[in-house]
Amino acid sequence: MAKNGATLAVELEAVSRRFQLGDLEVAALTDVDLQVAAGEFVVVLGPSGSGKTTMLNLIGGLDLPTTGRLVVDGDEITDYGARRLTEFRRTHIGFVFQFFNLIPSLTAAENVAFAAELVENEAGIAQALERVGLADRGDHFPAQLSGGEQQRVALARALAKDPPLLLCDEPTGELDFETGKMILGLMRKLNQEEGKTFMVVTHNAAIGAMADRVIYLRSGRIDRMVINDSPIAAEEVSW
């Protein structure tokens, strides 16, 4: 379901993903149909093992569905080979992870450059850091930054390629309450001011209150979806 008249950022048609674990076949995602409009801020909620991360990996081109059809930003990626998936991730997707996944041997600016130079957008490094409020912390190594700052660097890294779609996997999972809210606020700001589409996977139900739409996953299926007509500001979120 998309916002009225808006371009679709993500479209899943009967998407399933099954894993083979020894003799056991595990269905991580089963027959999922989903549409996400460009510029939408979507929160995906569900307990552990419900398929949240699997769905995010599929949309981000880190993995391919076992069956079904997957269109992201107008490109059907279902049948993409490894090379085209790499190109797709490079130009379309920004990832933000729970554990930040910064490269410890690179400074904040170099971590951002790590992504920026892939799209030859070195000029965007300083701008990306500025957008997350870390313009003066570019020379610091991850170990010299707080958790919130590290996550902001991760966000800047994702923004450096200027992707239309940002996929965030438990972005506040490792952060304290205030820092978490600050990151969420930043993400929402980027969504609203720059029109970036955000899909945020979390098990923190409180975050749903700030989303345009909340998708509930259970046992690899969409349990329900709730459209939030009046999302609250990130600062008002409480858990």
Partner 1 sequence: MVIGGSLGKKLVRDLLRAKASFGAAILVVLLGVTLFGASYASYKNLLRSYLYSYDVLHFADFVSTIAGADDGLPDRVAGLPGAARVETRLVGDLSAVSPDGEISGVVARVISVPAPEHPAVNDVTVYAGEYLDGTPGEVLLESSFAEYHDIAAGDTLQVVSAGVVVDLRVRGLVRTAEYMLPAKSKQDVMPQPKIFAILYADYATTAGLLQEAEPYNQVAVELAAGADMETVVAALRERVGPGVIAGTVGQEDQPSNAALKLDLEGLREMARAFPMLFFAAAAITLVILLGRMVRAQTPLVGLMRAVGYGPRAVLWHYTGFGLVIGVAGALIGSVAGFLLGGLVTGAYTGFVNVPFVKIEPEWTGVVGGTVGAIVVCATAGLLPAWRASRIRPADAMRGDAGTATGWSVRIGASWPAAPRIAVRNILRNRMRSLWTALGIAMAAILVVISVAFLDTTNHMIDWEFEVAMPHDAQVTFSGPVGTEIVDEVRALPGVARVEPVVQLPVELVTVGERYATLLVGLPEDGQLWNLFDGQENRIALGEGLLVADALRVRLGVEVGDEIEVATPGYVARLPIAGFVQQMMGSNAYLALPALQERVGIGDLVTGLLVRSEAGQERQVAKALERLPETAFVSTTDGFREMIDELMRLFYGFVGMMILFAVLLAFVVVFNTVTVSVMERRRELATMRMIGAGMGRVAAIVTIENLGIAIVGTAGGIAAGMAMASPAVQLFNSDSFSFGKAVVAPVTLAALTVGLLVVVLVSALPGIRYVSRMELADVARERAT
Applying CB under 8 A, the residues found at the interface with partner 1 are 54, 57, 60, 62-63, 82-83, 86-87, 89-91, 93, 95, 97, 99-106, 110-111, 113-115, 117-119, 142-143, 147, 150, 157, 161, 174
Provide, rounded to whole angstroms, the least separation between the CB of residue 174 and partner 1.
5
Q: Are 127 and 185 in contact (CB under 8 A)?
A: no
Question: How far is the C-alpha of 12 from the C-alpha of 84, rounded, in Å?
Answer: 19
Structural tokens at position 161: 């390629």
Nearer to partner 1, 178 or 236 (CB): 178
Nearer to partner 1, 39 or 142 (CB): 142
Provide, rounded to whole angstroms, the least separation between the CB of residue 60 and partner 1.
7
Question: How far is the C-alpha of 38 from the C-alpha of 97, rounded, in Å?
Answer: 21
Structural tokens at position 132: 């997350």
Nearer to partner 1, 38 or 116 (CB): 116
Q: From the centroid of its chain, how far is CA 54?
A: 12
Provide, rounded to whole angstroms, the least separation between the CB of residue 142 and partner 1.
5
Provide, rounded to whole angstroms, the least separation between the CB of residue 209 and partner 1.
26
Provide, rounded to whole angstroms, the least separation between the CB of residue 223 and partner 1.
23
Nearer to partner 1, 94 or 231 (CB): 94
124-131 helix and 108-116 helix, angle to the nearest 10 degrees: 120
Tokens 């059809």 belong to which residue?
Answer: 69
Nearer to partner 1, 4 or 24 (CB): 24
Question: How far is the C-alpha of 53 from the C-alpha of 104, rounded, in Å?
Answer: 24
